[in-house]
Amino acid sequence: MSDPLLLVHGDDGFEIDRELAGFARRIGAADRVEIIAERSPDEAALDRTLLEAASVGMFGVHLAVLRQPIRAAGRSNAATDKLLSLVSELPHGAALALAEMRPSRDANKPPALLARLADAVLARGGAVEVRMAPRRGQLQAWIRSHAEEFGARIEPRAAAMLAERIGGMVTETDVERGEQTRIAFGELAKLATYVGDRPIDADAVELLVADTSPASIYAITNAIDRRDPRLAAAALGRALEEGQPVLRILAAIGGRISDLIVTRDLLARDAPPQEIARRVGRNNIRMAERLAEASRRYGSAELEAMLHGLFETDLAIKSNASEPEPAITAWLGEHLLGRERPSRARAG
């Protein structure tokens, strides 16, 4: 690397921080200052970064770290030019790191400016690193490999339980995974200290690790699809604890129940899968099949009552007749928790 220059981006906050620390060690940084873009655009942050990067350390390399450079550029052409020139015109010998933490839901849709910034970094002989959080089924392997950093060995069942308790088995795409590895690393440190020379087993995980699965609105609608009251209540509880807006949850549930009503009507008149996919499945045959399966778990009158109940809940919240969280919890209790699952014959 001809210039001490780094761009690291992704949705794994823990690994991004570790990459920054490793970069500082590799270039022999004697001190490090961090600038965080607090608004969009934030030209003041860009100006300060340029000043800090060009500064000479008294006892070694002075490293400037700009966090969220894409936010700092925003939609401003002037700020975008300033960000790119910060890299292209960086004085030789200056040390700069750019760290862009992106939401997990947008991890596979990077903004165009990120590619331009990466090209500018590479053109100056810098390095570009991507740090993505483990997805479903990947966190167990991450846990097993990182347990070795503590000189510990974790049993497969314990690794699976730990991954599950911090949300590693959640399949929904709207959950944020950026802190899962940080949580996992902290739990491994605690578990390794507790077991000493013994392997980390499932009993230790059961005793020491709390369930911190991330919230997901999709998890609520998926539980409704499966007609699983326990999962629906747990998913709703996590969403409320994390501060998800109740009206957003209501809108998601309402949209799903409306789709189930339409799907059930289409099935009643023997509509082909392609029509169901076009009407409610966003032209996705697998989604259409999933909605068809879910709609068969409910009667038409049940779905109509659920939708009408959502309308009343929404009205009660917006008219201040009821607080949001008790209102949606009451709806779930009445329309899902309080109803026994009908027999296959009745559901058909």
For position 52, which CATH number holds? 3.40.50.300
- For residues 189 and 195, what is the distance between their CA atoms, to the nearest angstrom? 10
Average confidence (pLDDT) per 10 residues, the chain, 348 residues: 84 94 92 91 94 75 93 94 94 91 81 95 95 86 93 93 79 68 92 95 91 71 88 87 86 91 93 86 76 91 94 93 93 77 40
In the prediction, which pLDDT does 169 show? 67
Q: Classify residue 72 as left (phi > 0), alpha (psi -120 to 50) or beta.
A: alpha
For residue 315, give the nearest of 307, 231, 201, 115 by alpha carbon. Answer: 307
Q: Which of 104, 131, 158 is the last residue of a domain?
A: 131
Our count of domains for the chain comes to 3
- For residues 62 and 93, what is the distance between their CA atoms, to the nearest angstrom? 10
Co-location of 197 and 226 in the same domain: no
285, HSE (Cβ side, Cα atoms, 13 Å): 3
Co-location of 66 and 166 in the same domain: no
Longest dimension (CA), the chain: 80
Co-location of 329 and 282 in the same domain: yes
The predicted model scores a pTM of 0.65
Q: Token pair of 190, please? A: 């605690």
Backbone angles phi, psi at 6, to 5 degrees: -140, 140
3-state class of 50 per DSSP? Answer: helix
In the prediction, which pLDDT does 343 show? 41
Q: Which of 208, 231, 255 is the last residue of a domain?
A: 208
Q: What is the residue range of 306's domain?
A: 217-347
In b/e form, how buried is each residue of 302-317, taking b as 16+ CB within 10 angstroms? bbebbbebbeebbebb
CA angle (163, 164, 166) in 5-degree steps: 70
Q: SS3 string of 110-172?
A: CCHHHHHHHHHHHHCCCEEEEECCCCCCCHHHHHHHHHHHHCCCECHHHHHHHHHHCCCCCCC
Co-location of 85 and 168 in the same domain: no
3-state helix, strand, coil in the chain (%, to 5): 60, 10, 30
Co-location of 274 and 317 in the same domain: yes
Co-location of 225 and 340 in the same domain: yes
Domain harbouring 182, CATH code: 1.10.8.60
**Which residue reads 């699965």 in tokens?**
213
3-state class of 303 per DSSP? Answer: helix
Contact (CB, 8 A) for 11 and 177: yes
Give me the residues paired with residue 10 across strands: 101, 131
Give me the residues paired with residue 62 across strands: 31
3-state class of 94 per DSSP? Answer: coil
Co-location of 145 and 116 in the same domain: no
Domain harbouring 242, CATH code: 1.20.272.10
- For residues 333 and 348, what is the distance between their CA atoms, to the nearest angstrom? 24
Amino acid (1-letter code) at residue 144:
R
Co-location of 61 and 158 in the same domain: no
Contact (CB, 8 A) for 286 and 279: no
Give the list of residues 6+ apart from residue 275 with CB closer than 8 angstroms, or none. 266
Co-location of 106 and 191 in the same domain: no
Q: Which of 103, 131, 159 is the last residue of a domain?
A: 131
Co-location of 270 and 288 in the same domain: yes
**Which residue reads 């497969």 in tokens?**
156
Co-location of 73 and 102 in the same domain: yes
Co-location of 48 and 163 in the same domain: no
